[in-house]
Amino acid sequence: MPAIEVSSLTKAYGDLRANDDLSFEVEAGEVFGFLGPNGAGKTTTIRTLMGFMAPTE
């Protein structure tokens, strides 16, 4: 059973999609690296998972 499960997460700012149909799982005890270039949607994903932002879809 995953400790974190994201399925089809989308967050848009107008026409810009910070996350477009993002899905992943992190198992309990797993070391997970969340990497990407500036503007890739990393912070948006974390803020959405924490409940600070609502997903668009």
Structure tokens at 46: 């974390």
Please provide the size of the chain in residues.
Answer: 57
Average pLDDT over residues 15-34: 94
Q: The domain containing residue 27 runs over which residues?
A: 2-49
23-46: string of b/e by CB count within 10 Å (b at 16+)?
eeeeeeeeeeeeeeeeeebeebbe
Domain-embedded: residue 55: no
Residue 53 DSSP one-character state: S
> Is residue 20 in some structural domain?
yes
CA–CA separation, 14 and 16 (whole Å): 6
Q: Which of 47, 44, 50 is nearest to 12 (CA)?
A: 44
In a domain, 8, yes or no: yes
* Residue 54 located in a structural domain: no
Number of domains in the chain: 1
Q: Global pTM?
A: 0.84
pLDDT for position 57: 78
Q: What is the mean pLDDT of the chain?
A: 94
27 domain residue, yes or no: yes
